[in-house]
Structure 1
Amino acid sequence: MTLHTPSAHDTAAAEAAVIQTLPLFEMMRMRAATTARRHPTLGFASDEPGSSWRWVNQFTHTHRRLGPADREVVSPNNDTVYSNAWIDLSEGPVLIESPDVGDRYWTLGLLDAWTNPFAYVGRRTTGSRPQRTLVHGPGWRGKVPAEVTHTIAAPGHDVWLIGRFLVDDDGPDAERVRSLQQALRLRRLDGSDAAMRVDTALDGRDTRIPSSRLYRATVDAALRGNPPPEGESLTWPLDDDALASALPAVYERLRNAGQPHALGGGWAIPVMVRTHWGEDLLTRARIARNFIGALGVDEAMYPTAEVDVEGQPLDGSKRYELRFAPGRGPRVDAFWSLTMYRRSDCLFVANPIDRYSIGDRTPGLHTEPDGSLVIRLQAQDPGPGVNWLPAPPGELFYVVLRLYQPRAEHLALQFDYPPIQPV
């Protein structure tokens, strides 16, 4: 028996193809992980307990903000609850029905199977009145019903919808948002429930490097309904040995590759995309592996700081302050928040005041006599009259400044982010 050793050319071609197609695989993995086994009225997608069949064209929701006990999502936000749906357009268009949301911040972000955040429904783009949004796949030429308020043409048959609704508390306001989430519907043009059964053929909980056989089968299936983006050609490798060699090499490369956009003062932005990744296939793959589901910067930006003004790692055994000069706070059309995370696991930090983020909606926010806004980052309570974001005692941490509907100064990377100063 002669073992085939891939040539350098085979290996390079396979690695390039993996970098190009990895977003497809990771999106299908997320579909398997975030779709429901059970429909509220139609029952289980399969009677087999270990089955990979799931429901698509169906909303699932979180009805409370995440806290330190929640460990499924890294670097979660503490501002919104989520509504999630995978839309399958292979059997025709789908109508998204959304209620009157009022003045509340909300967005439904749509990503294609290649992770391009190509469209939105929500406060920034379509407003907050009751809406019926028609989403259709490529090639559909049907008649648009009169009651449709917006039409979205998707580039492929698979779309990930990630919804966010601002929540001010975990009590009465959370209940108001729950009623808004439950009013979201996915329907066919005839008004029927759009829910479909789909075999995801994956264990979405398994985040390990996939086998070449699973990777190829998953990508082949996804490509049938989701061709490469316009202008992008794909050379899909046929050599199993080259593919098997390329997968661990690429996944390791993506774990270490790619630096965020530096903003100065220790701040950086891990993700900078608007509606399409364009020709930057390596960054697209890195984000798909490490930050999948990222929306475009027009909707939200996430400047992140892991070091202080001196370039030293932020440490919970020390005290720091972040000072926004008078009139120089974040420029946003919705709201902003600063969230604290432990470096060791990228999760919230349990603390005596149950505060995991601080921002322009925080009750009792104190400004200095000159109008400055100072936020203290430390483990110990600094006392009354201080804006305190608790840090993990004796552990390294990082902070994320979330900017919802950032203004032009942020989008152009011209905002002067104040450095974090040791006290």
Structure 2
Amino acid sequence: MMKTTAASMLMSGLPLTGQPVFAADPVTPASAQDTNLSPLSIAARNAWIYGLALIENAKSRADVLKRGKPNTVVHEGKLVDASWRDVTTPNNDTLYSRSWINLTEGPVEIQVPKGGDRYVSVALMDMYMNNFAILGTRTTGNDGGTYKLVGPKDPIEDAFTIRAPTPWVWSTLRVLVNGPQDLDTARSIQNKFKVTGPAADFPPEYAERSAPWQEFLTSVQKLVLENPPPVTDERYFETMSPLGLSMSGGFDPSRFDETQSAEIDAGFLAAKKWLRSAGRPGPVINNWSYPKATLGDFGDDFLYRAQVAIAGLGALPMVEAMYLRPVSDSGNPNFDSNKVWRLILPGSALPPVDAFWSLSMYEQTPEGQYFFVDNPLDRYVIGDRSPDLVRMDDGGIDIWMSRTPPPANIQTNWLPTPAERPFSVFFRGYLPKDEFMSWEYKMPKLTEVVG
């Protein structure tokens, strides 16, 4: 059922997207909406957009390392629920295990567990949010294996060595859970995931995205030095030169006077407005927002990377998972929880995937992030493995979304919406087939139930 490729595909250290990566428009030095900004404000705007991925990854790293050490694994032994607020848009389909790996002291060994006939993946992401390798079902198969991860300048020793682009790497294991009765078996697989390496230092504390510009940019500069960016980012760094922020260091907040400080603040404000007004990054088909081809391997698509840092940190590339999100006719991704909504998936047009699919219910926080919310059923997801789903005559699935239960005969198909805020749903399809990735397959439209 699952597609595999040879382990040797991993050895170049290049991203395993499995498809051509279309050229992305980089964030340019200026935009039409910022023609009144000073050069210093434009530099600050670009620096905020560029640095957001580093800042968000540093926060994720700090959160994980509160519970463990570098080069060790932190297991989440239960499915994520409404109490979990570590990373935005979590899934409720897989167990997670996370590790922040520090390669400055030498190579690290990664043991991938055998998955049997279930989906298992270990995503390796650099500090710039690029998935540079994914181990598991799609790429190396479900028999597990041991791999060596080395730093950017270390040699490739054999076919099981992977070179990381940055000294710090975020490793995330996902193990599919086929219902509550399967949780113990999934845990036994999860616990066989190991990361072994030399003792390594904890990173220093860094600012969060809400910090004043002095702290934010100081942290970005330090993170750039800690994790040197690819040389192809050099031209973009030229747009930040009025700040003195560079690939080799030099940022000094004390050299700016009050007038210049106000200009930098204006640049940060412009960046945040730009991010909010950027709209859907990928195509919208049948009122579903599809991902861009650069998801999870962003290149110089810095604006998209910033969007994903806020709304989907840790996202996989499209060949591993399709992330879709419905929008209204006006383009709004948030829907009124006072109303009743349906998603009808005909039996002849179920999502074409080689692993599994699910639809997850979230509320949006004021910061623009998405998390599960409490509901009477503790149900956050409906998918192809949900127990006791009522099927239509053609084998299709009719999913209801509302605050109150639907008719009694299909309550197992009910996905409760938030009690107070609007809702947003995200579709995930793991190991999508070609017709899904090429947008040939079109998800049916989310419809309002009237009357």
TM-score of Structure 1 vs Structure 2, range by shorter chain: 0.7 to 0.9
Give TM-score, length-normalised by structure 1.
0.82
Q: 1:317/1:211 Cα in 2 relative to 1: closer, same or farther (>3 Å)? A: closer
Secondary structure, aligned partner of 1:232:
helix
The answer on 1:417 being equivalent to 2:417 is no
Report the secondary structure of 1:302's partner residue: strand
Report how far residue 73 of structure 1 moved: 4.2
Secondary structure of the residue that 1:15 maps to in structure 2?
Answer: helix
Indicate if the aligned counterparts of 1:265 and 1:420 stay in contact, CA closer than 8 A. Answer: no
Match of 2:350 among 313, 325, 329: 329
**Whole-Å Cα distance in 2 between the matches of residues 69 and 20 of structure 1?**
31
Alignment-derived partner of residue 382 in structure 1: 407
Residue of 397, 400, 407 corresponding to 1:373: 397
Partner of 1:26: 56
Distance of 2:81 and 2:92 partners within structure 1: 8
Q: Residue 402 of structure 1: CA displacement?
A: 1.1
Q: Distance in 2 between matches of 1:267 and 1:403?
A: 14
**CA contact 2:72–2:196 (8 Å) conserved in 1:** no
Give the secondary structure class of the aligned counterpart of 1:196: coil
User: Are the structure 2 counterparts of residues 20 and 280 from structure 1 closer, same or farther at C-alpha, using a change threshold of 3 Å?
Assistant: same
1:398 aligns to what SS in structure 2?
strand
In the TM superposition, residue 223 of structure 1 has moved relative to its aligned partner by 2.4
State TM-score, norm by structure 2: 0.77
What's the offset of the Cα at 1:108?
1.1
Where do 5+ consecutive residues of structure 2 fail to align?
1-36, 245-251
* Aligned 8 A contact 2:87 2:313 in 1: no
User: Given the superposition, is the C-alpha separation of residues 350 and 274 from structure 1 closer, same or farther in structure 2, using an over 3 Å criterion?
Assistant: closer
- Go from structure 1 to structure 2 and tell me whether the alpha carbon gap of 1:177 and 1:373 turns closer, same or farther (over 3 Å shift): closer
2:308 matches 1:278: no
Call closer, same or farther: CA 1:340–1:308 in 2, change over 3 Å.
farther
Query: Could you tell me how far apart the structure 1 residues matched to 2:286 and 2:279 are?
Result: 19
Deviation by residue 1:167-203 (Cα, 9 ceiling, x = unmatched): 1234x52222222222222224xxxxx3423132236
**1:254-273, CA deviations, whole angstroms, 9 ceiling, x for partnerless residues?**
24434232433321136653
Tell me how far 1:62 sits from its aligned partner.
Answer: 0.8
More deviation in 375-384 or 349-358?
349-358
- The answer to whether the 8 Å contact 1:299/1:406 transfers is yes
Alpha-carbon contact 2:95-2:187 (below 8 Å) kept: no
Q: 1:13 to 1:263 in 2, by over 3 A?
A: closer
Q: Do structure 1's residue 175 and structure 2's residue 184 form an aligned pair? A: yes
Note the C-alpha offset of 1:24: 2.3
Please show how residues 311-326 of structure 1 align to structure 2 within 5 Å.
314-326=335-347
Q: Between Structure 1 and Structure 2, how many residues are aligned?
A: 389
How many Å apart are 1:150 and its aligned residue? 2.4
For the 8 Å contact 1:273–1:295, the answer to whether it is kept is no
Between the aligned partners of 2:45 and 2:329, the Cα distance in structure 1 is 37
Q: 1:77: which partner in 2?
A: 91
- 3-state SS, counterpart of residue 180 of structure 1: helix
1:262-315, CA deviations, whole angstroms, 9 ceiling, x for partnerless residues? 433321136653552122222222322332222211111221124379989633
- 1:18-417 equivalence runs, <5 A: 18-36=48-66, 38=68, 55-141=69-155, 143-144=157-158, 150-170=160-180, 172-188=181-197, 194-202=198-206, 207-233=208-234, 234-235=237-238, 236=241, 237-238=243-244, 240=253, 241=256, 244-245=264-265, 246-269=267-290, 272-274=293-295, 276-307=297-328, 314-343=335-364, 346-378=370-402, 379-385=404-410, 387-392=413-418, 396-417=422-443
Structure 1 unpaired stretches of 5+ = 1-6, 39-54, 189-193
Q: What is the deviation of 1:101?
A: 2.0
Whichever residue aligns with residue 286 of structure 2, its letter is G
Tell me if the contact between 1:274 and 1:298 (Cα under 8 Å) persists in the aligned partners: no
Aligned equivalents of 1:411, 1:288: Cα separation in 2: 22
**Greater share of strand residues, 1 or 2?**
1
> Alpha-carbon deviation of 1:208?
4.4
1:96, CA displacement in angstroms?
0.3
Cα distance in 2 for residues equivalent to 1:310 and 1:214: 35
Q: Note if contact 1:111-1:119 (Cα within 8 Å) is conserved in structure 2.
A: yes
- Contact 2:148 2:162 (C-alpha < 8 Å) held by counterparts: yes
Counterpart-to-counterpart distance in 2, 1:69 and 1:36 = 17
Whether contact under 8 Å (2:177, 2:183) holds in the other structure is yes
Work out whether residues 308 and 422 of structure 1, in 8 Å CA contact, stay in contact via their aligned partners in 2: no
In 2, are the aligned partners of 1:99 and 1:180 still within 8 Å (CA)?
Answer: yes
| Structure 1 counterpart of 2:347, one-letter code | P
Percent of aligned pairs with the same amino acid:
34
Distance 1:29 1:388, change over 3 A: closer
CA deviation after TM superposition for structure 1 residue 165, in Å: 1.1
Check whether the contact 2:358–2:384 (CA below 8 A) recurs between aligned residues.
yes
Query: CA shift at 1:339, angstroms?
Result: 1.6
Q: Using the TM superposition, name which of 307-316 and 392-401 deviates more.
A: 307-316
2:379 maps to a residue whose letter is R
CA distance in 1, matches of 2:217, 2:332: 43
Quote the Cα distance in structure 2 between the aligned partners of 1:312 and 1:303. 11
Q: For the structure 1 residues 286 and 371, does the alpha-carbon distance in structure 2 shift closer, same or farther, using more than 3 Å as the test?
A: closer
| 2:41 matches 1:11 | yes
Question: CA 1:24–1:376 in 2, change beyond 3 Å: closer, same or farther?
Answer: closer
User: Match of 1:355, as an amino acid?
Assistant: R
The answer for the alignment partner of 1:47 in structure 2 is none
